[in-house]
Each structure stands twice: as C-alpha cells, then as structure tokens.
Structure 1
Amino acid sequence: MTGPLARALGEFAATVDPPAPVRADVPTRILDVLGNALAAYAERSADAAPAALAAMKRWGGVPEATVIGSGERLPAPSAAFVNGVLAHSLDYDDTHLPSVLHPSASVVPAALAAAEAGAEGDLIAAIAAGIEVTNRIGMAGCDPETGANLYFERGQHATSICGTIGAAVAVGRLYGLDGTGIADAIGIAASMGAGVLEANRTGGSVKRTHCGWAAHAGVVAATLAAEGLTGPPTVLEGRFGFFAAHTGRFDPRAVTDGLGEEWELLRTVFKPYPSNHFTHAGIDCALALRRAGLRPSEVAAIELGVAEPVLRTIAEPPEEKARPRSGYHAKFSGPYTLAIALTGGSGLGVGLDDFVELDPERLALASKVTVCADPEATAAFPRTFAAVLRVRTTAGTTLSHRVGSSRGGPGHPLSAAEVAAKFTGNAVRALSPSAVEDLAAAVGRLGSGGPVSAVFPAGRDSGRTMETAYRQAR
C-alpha cells in the first residue's frame, strides 16, 4: 500500500467485511473480556477497579453505557474506562504474539460502550478491525532482526499505547466514519496513548488502569473525529510521529502487508493462567514436574531458564520477585508462580484463588528459585514463550523439564472447551449459573444484531458494594 499509514488503516477499518473465521472468533474475544471483567468485579479488592468506578461516578455525566457487573450507568467514555480496568485487572486477558500485547481488553470495552450509547455500526467488524490495527501497530514496534520489542525496551506498555489507537478505530467504524475520518481518529488517538511498565518491577497497581485509559481515550478520539477534529496524516511514520516517539524505529511492512487478508487477530491467544504471560512457560514446566511426582519438600534449589528479554519483568529485582508485595504483584514473579504450580494450584493449573493472599510455604519455595537467560528460549522469543526448569532435590538428584511453547500459545492453543470453561469459571464468581448461560447466549446473538445491553447483567451485588469495600480499606 502507498500513502500515509493512518490512511491505509482507516480505509481498511471503514470498509472491511471480515471473513467467516474472524467473525466467528470475535464473540469469543468478547466473552473472554466479559468473564475476566466479572471475575475482577467479584474480587472487590481495594484497588484499581473500585477506585476507577468511584472516580468516574464523582465526575458524573449522562448515563449512556453500563459498567460490567455493577449495573451502574455512566457516560460512554467513563464506562469504557471502568470496563477496561476490569478487563485487565487480573492479567488474564488475551495476548498477541509477537507484539506481546493484550488487544481485546482495550478494544472490546470501548466498542461495547459506544454501541450501547447508540452507535449503530457493525459491532463484530468494528472489534475485528480495532484488534487487527492494535496488533499490527504493536508488531511494527518489534525489531525484525532481533525480535526485541522496542516499546518494552523504553519501558512503555504497548498494550495501552497501541490499544488506544485500536479502540479509536473500532469506535470510528461504529460511528460510520469513512477512511479519512478513521484516519483522523488514529491521528487524534496517537496523542492520547500512554503507559509505563515500572509497576511490573517494583510495585503499584496503576498498570491495571492502562487498558481502561486506552478504551476511554479511544472513545474520546473517535468522538472528536466525528465532530470534525483532525489528525496529522503522517501521524504514525512522521518525523515527530507515533513511532518516532515510542519506538525510535519501526517496520512499516508489519502495518500493511496482507492487511485484510492475513489476520493477526486469529493469532491472538487465550491465557490459561491469570498471571503475566512471561511466567506461563515456567508454570508449565513446574506442573509437569509435579505430575511426575516432585513434591515441594524435596526441593533444594530451582533454576528457571527463560528468554533474556523477559528477565526484567519476572525476575528483576530479584528480591522483589522472590517476595512480591501482594498477590497482584505475585502475578509478575517467575519464582512465586513456579511455587504455586509446584504446590498444586487451582483453576487450569494456576488460578485466581492462588493470588488472593501470599502463602508462606510458597514464599519459602520462591526463595529457592534463580532465574536466568536460556539461549533456546531467547531464540524463540517473541514468537513463542519457552522455558526450562531444573530442580536439585534434597536427595542430590537433578530433575528438568523444557517447553518450547507455553500452554495456550502458538502450537498449543486452548481448545474451545477450555476457553468456555475459563469464561464460566470467571463469570460464576459474579453471576448465577443461569445468568452465565444467558450471558453467553446474548454474546452469541451479537453477530446477528442482538442487543448490546443484554451483555451487561448486574452481578449478585451492586457497584455500591465494590465502592464500599474500597472506601473502607482506605
């Protein structure tokens, strides 16, 4: 394609009629987001989601769209913000490789909020286009020679930065903007994306809000474009444009090659474990050794080998990862997630209940873990997440296990039954079993024009309960 990249993406998003496999996939993305959000709503920790809801209610405004689980109605940008926070809060959202970002947690909340507020475009096509654009802009920030993620190299969260543009694309399509209008929405959204990753290393819960802000900003950017605000045509590739600001260099082929024919959306994988995706290969190794008979009491020392670029996220600083500050921060700890798997986790091997509180036995086991770079895992990254685990036992023997691709990843995708089980297990934390069935059916009807309002059932308790827990904890 020739011409400005934003214009090419705008024309694609405005006109694309996704093929049948993509249209069939999108409702599953919506279900995964709703399930993750409902589980986060039910968690009611004194953290990002209740704070987000309280803040948005403080601002007030016209009640246009629904907050997942609570039944509260807020202006569309505010509802998108809270729902994006919920969708990303448990670190259970889908992942695209090799960009290593989570597209649906920003795009789906933005699109649902705009649709519920009255936008009448093709919801499935809008979400498909938004996710595809998010993934491709993320891919363009990967060094084609080394595989290094240039966003992460600068400490930036590609999920929220790229997700802001994808959310704007989805909402622009719903608003019926033409290619020029969606290109303007991209140009506006490029000034709004943000997110730094230091919380992954040393604490703080702000990362949970990143997808919420991206969803909020996407709605705002598309709305401004619909009202006539314009963006620079070369906003992505320009001298002072998006890639110059966020990555320094980029691969333009990743943005447009095969656009509309080869769908990166279909390479976006579902997570089996509610933790940072870089921990999953190590979890798989630990679960395999446990199945083979290894017990925690037999462990003298553990060495986990992973791709070199992921060390900064799941292994550094070592003292923070060996003894994380909270259950949430344990999700970003290679040592602690290994300890969960070796002691017998919940869910699909490691589950939500394993991160409610820090367990003394698991902390003791985590203190025995050393994480290092493994050449094979480094060579496979970021196309797949690999790891090797070596355990020295108290009897003096060494046990090892290697995985070339983590469960749920390329080559080992979750089955339809496993994805459905994940959704049900998440959603029943907030809804009755019959309501969960009704919700799945309502999402299934979206592709044939079913009402968006039907995918927002209120949880067992109101949003007031979540806010009350938050205020009491303060």
Structure 2
Amino acid sequence: MNATGTAGRGQDPGASLTRRLAEWAASLRHPDLPERIEEYATSQVMSHLAVVRSSLGHPLGRKLVRAFGTPLAHDPCRAAQVMAALSSCLYYEDSMYAGHVTHASVGVPLAFRRDQRLDGRALLTAVVAANECAARVTAAGVLGPLRGQGTSYTQLMGAVAARLHGAGAPAELWTDAWGLALAMPPWPLRRALLGSEAKVLSAATPVRTALDACDAAAAGLRGADDILEHPGGLLAKFSHVPSPEAVTAGLGTRWHTETLTFKIHPAGAYVDGAVDCAAQLHARLSREDIRDIEEIVVSAARLTIAMDQEGAPYINRERSAIMALNVSVAYNVATALTTGSVVPADLAEPATADPLRWSLADRVRLEYDAGLSREVLRATAPLGEALRQAGEGGRQWLADFMGEGAAAAADVGGPPSATFQEADKAVGARLRVTLRDGRVVTASCRRPRGAAGPETRDTHRELVRDKLALSGTSAEVMDGLERLASLDARQVDALVSRALSEPLPTSESPPTFDPLLESGLPHGA
C-alpha cells in the first residue's frame, strides 16, 4: 500500500480501526514523508532532547535518575521509561492535535536506536508513524474527561507504534500489541497529578506497559482487534463524544505531525499566552516599576481559567507540586514580569521561594474574555477540530461545557479539515498592569510563541535550537541533529548519546545511576 494514499486504498473497509491504522503505519517509509513533515519531525526530536536535558538538570529529574537510571541505560525498555518520565516532569514537552505524544513517539525510537540500528531516516519515519497513530486515537476521544498529560492511551498507542515500526514488525503484531496495551489503560487522579510528584509517572507507566505489550504480542499473546470501537472498548469508556472516524481520516494526506506546538516555556499550554504578555511588559518596566505594581489583570479564555482553578488548591508557594506551578497563571505571570521569561530553573528553589514573585502573584486577577474563548474554539487545537469532527455531538458537548449561549456564540461549525497544512492553536491572553502612581500598561498575545500557526511553520527550527542552547547543548550537536536524516545508524547512536551526556548548565555532567538502586537494594546490602 502506498502511504500517500487514502485510508481506504488497499484496505478491507470492514477491518477494525487498529487493523487499518496498523496496515498504513507499518508500511510507511521515509520516501512517503513530505519534506515539511520530515522537517517537523527533525525539530521534534531536537526539542525532545532539550526537554530531557533540562529535566536532567532539575532536582526532580535527579530523583527520577536515582529511581530508574539514565536515558542512556543499556536496556532500551528501561531507557524509554526513564526518558518518558524525564520528558514529562516539567510540562516542557511539545504537543499536537491531539495529545502530548512525544514522550512515546520520540522517546521510544531514541531509546531503541541502537538495538534496532536506526539510521536517521528510519528514526524520523518511526517518529512520524507513532505521532500519527497516537494523535489520531487521542483526537478520536478528546471530548472526554481526560486532558493533556493525563491521557494515558496517547502513550500506549505511540509507544507500540514507535517500537514496532523501528523493528519492521508486520501489521498483525501491531494489532495484537495495541489490543493488549489498551486492555487496562491507567486513569490518573487529578489530586495526585496536581498535588504531588506522581505526575512524573504519567507517561512513563503507560510507555512501559506498551513495551511489555509488544513483547507479549511477539510471544503469541493475542489482543482484541476492535479495542477502539467496540461498545466496551476504549473510545466508549474514555470519551463523552467519540469520533472513531478520526482514527483513519486522510491517512497520508492529513498529517497530524504538522499540528505540532513547540513548547517555549515549562508551563501549562493555556498559560503560555499570558507568559508572553508578561515578558513583553518586563521589557518595558523597571525593577522599581515591578515592585510598584498594584494590580495585574489577566484576560483569558475559559480553558485557561478552568485549568488555573484546578491547580489553585494545591498552590503552597515553594512547597507546591510542579504541575500546580505549571498551571498557575499567577505564578507564571509573576515570574515572567520579574525575569522576562519562564525557564526550568523557575520550577525549583530559590526561584520558587522568591518573595517578590509571590507578592506579585497575590496581585493577579483573572477575567473571562468571551472573544479569546471563541478564538480558542475556532482554532484547530486544542478543541476546535474535535468539535467539527464530532458534528452535532460536539455542539452539544460544548453547550454542556460552556452553556447554551456561549456555545452558540462560539461559531465552531463546518466540516473537518481535509489537511492540517493551515493548522493553528490560538490560546491567547491580555494583560493590564496598574502601578501605584496610576500608570497602566497593557500587552496582548493572540497566539503564543511556538504554538501551531504560520509563525511556527516558518521558525520552528530556530525555536528548537534556542531551546537546546538553553539546555546547554553544544552548537556541534545541534548542527548534527539538523542533519539527522542524512546520518547512518552509527552516527545517530553517537550523536544521541552525546546529546544526552554533554554537561548541563546546572552541573558538570548529567547525574549518574547507582546500580544498587536498580534492584531496590540499599547501600551496603
């Protein structure tokens, strides 16, 4: 089957969704990738390595290394598990329509690069195949109770696809592995994600489950091939308004990979617009002005306010769990006003104990903005395309979520997109800062830096190079990563190993792994 064809070409229309998706993805080859898709995938790999490096330099990342080892572990399953934990711990990972797919779709091929002898083209093709499988199933269930990092089945789909594509496995094995991996998907508890450090396992646990499912399928265990669409299957249980047709819509023409949003700040996606506004005002205000702020009003979309409210009960200044800080509009706006940005170091002491930031955070007030909410819903991500895909069911879901009046004013009608070449994500914000002397300064942002849209299509490589540089990556490694598609397997292995082992900005070298901890034995046992 030619991967650039439609979902139905060469396929049995009566086959299950996982069978049809597996047949397409297993046959995907590098020549099938449009140049722009290869470029996106290259930037995605670069950005992912920047995220892992940033986490290695953070106190939470060092705990993960003590628990699970480094991402250079000899066992690729272990390496994939720890890489997923590291890439999810700071809310710094990229996302797409739909889902935070990179923990599996990038982390697994990187972890298996040596065992599978992946050259640059094979690695990038595995990334794209996994992106497409994970994002499509996530999009099919996005109008449901789980969001973002908590959507465990995103990683279950992506990790199976990434590993089996790299292994050249037949479609039959994919179908069984997915059936096994999706049999008991984790359902995370918001209290744990927002109020503890358990969130760092939100991607690592399903990635390991998926890799175990691959081993089980290879040994002959069979999974349910209708695990997605069956009345007792995943979409029925994990979505209020399932859209099973999204799983195979436009295979090879409707590339979810080009809906990528590249994260610039380690903060919740719905906070990024407010952070960009605060960074604008930092450049216009003196240190004395910032201390003299009387009030900060953030005009935001309903999704931004809802996310902030979810995290608010778990904010306890420097004792706050990282995800509570990630989703706090007040903390991130105060940080960007004070420093001009939000970076990984802002999620640890001494930054989180800075009294000026918390004093400013106490002066932040959120206001609902109907216009910004409409912009969010018209864009491809995070919900607009899902609402259009769901049709009448999507309109009813929106009315239940926002109320009949707000839903009617949202104007999200129309057919699903035939392609994602014009995809966008517009979670904007406006800031109004009042100083004690009566001055008022304002800033606005319709689309945050790095969000899917025309600016990011033109500049994503520049953005990810900056992100790598911030993590302490050398120019030589960055240049090598940009040439990833031209590298042989030996060069890929050496380059990725170097990218993960170069000195970090906060320490002389990445943290080491104590082998005694691997077996759970105490020192001296």
Task: Assess same fold via TM > 0.5.
Answer: yes
Counterpart amino acid of 1:311?
A: I
How far off its partner does 1:317 sit?
Answer: 5.1
Asked if the contact 1:169/1:218 (under 8 Å) is kept, the reply is: no
Is the contact between residue 141 and residue 150 of structure 1 (CA under 8 Å) also seen in structure 2?
no
Cα root mean square deviation, aligned: 2.9
- Alpha-carbon shift at residue 231 of structure 1 (Å): 1.5
- 1:215 paired to 2:207: yes
Aligned to 1:423: 468
Q: Distance in 1 between matches of 2:231 and 2:112?
A: 33
Give the counterpart letter for 2:429 in structure 1.
A
Q: Which residue of 1 aligns with 2:406?
A: none
Matched-pair contact (CA < 8 Å) for 2:267–2:326: yes
The match for 2:18 is: 6
Q: Name the SS for the 2:299 alignment partner.
A: strand
Instruction: Give the deviation of 1:156 after TM superposition.
Output: 7.5
Sequence identity of aligned pairs in percent?
24
Cα distance between partner residues in 2 of 1:283 and 1:193? 34
Counterpart of 1:370 in structure 2 is 365
Q: Counterpart of 1:12 in 2: which secondary structure? A: helix
Partner of 1:401: 443
The correspondence for 2:107, drawn from 94, 106, 109, is 109
What does 1:302-451 correspond to in 2, within 5 Å?
Answer: 302-316=296-310, 318=312, 320-321=314-315, 323=317, 325-326=319-320, 328=322, 329-345=324-340, 349-357=341-349, 358=352, 359-381=354-376, 382=382, 383-411=425-453, 412-413=455-456, 414-428=459-473, 433=474, 437-438=476-477, 440-441=479-480, 444-445=483-484, 447-451=486-490
Tell me the residue number matched to 1:453.
493
For the 8 Å contact 1:195–1:210, the answer to whether it is kept is no
Closer, same or farther: CA 201–87 of 1 in aligned 2, 3 Å:
closer
Secondary structure of the structure 2 residue equivalent to 1:331: helix
What corresponds to 1:146 in structure 2?
A: none
1:302–1:392 CA contact under 8 A, matched in 2: yes
SS of aligned partner of 1:271 = coil
CA displacement at 1:128 relative to structure 2: 0.6
Determine if contact 1:386/1:405 at 8 Å carries over to the other structure: yes
Give the drift of 1:352. 2.1
Inter-partner Cα distance in structure 2 for 1:133 and 1:164:
10
Counterpart residue number, 2:183: 191
Deviations 1:312-336 (A, max 9, x none): 3223454544846347342221100
Runs of 4+, deviation exceeding 6 Å? 465-469
- Once residues 220 and 369 of structure 2 are traced to their aligned partners in structure 1, the CA distance between those partners, rounded to angstroms, is 52
Which of residues 282, 290, 295 in structure 1 aligns to 2:282?
Answer: 290
Unaligned runs of 5+ in 2: 1-7, 377-381, 383-424, 504-508
In structure 2, relative to structure 1, the CA distance for the partners of 1:443 and 1:450 (3 Å cut) is farther
- Alignment CA distance shift 1:192-1:410 (3 Å): same
Aligned counterpart in structure 2 of residue 157 of structure 1, from 150, 168, 174 = 150
For the 8 Å contact 1:35–1:426, the answer to whether it is kept is yes
Partner of 1:141: 141
Q: In structure 2, how many angstroms separate the alpha carbons of the residues matched to 1:410 and 1:118?
A: 32
Q: Which amino acid aligns with 1:109?
A: G
Question: Is there any run of 5+ residues in structure 1 with no aligned partner, and where?
Answer: 58-66, 144-148
CA distance in 2: counterparts of 1:104 and 1:187, whole angstroms: 21
- 2:239 pairs with 1:247: yes
Q: Please say if residues 110 and 218 of structure 1, whose CA atoms lie closer than 8 Å, have aligned partners that are also in contact.
A: no
Equivalent in the alignment of 2:512: 464
Distance 1:425 1:317 in 2: 27
Amino acid at match of 2:480: A
TM norm structure 2 = 0.76
| Cα distance, 1:367 vs structure 2 | 0.7
Q: Distance in 1 between matches of 2:81 and 2:252?
A: 29
Aligned to 2:403: none
C-alpha contact (below 8 Å) 1:52/1:82 kept by paired residues: yes
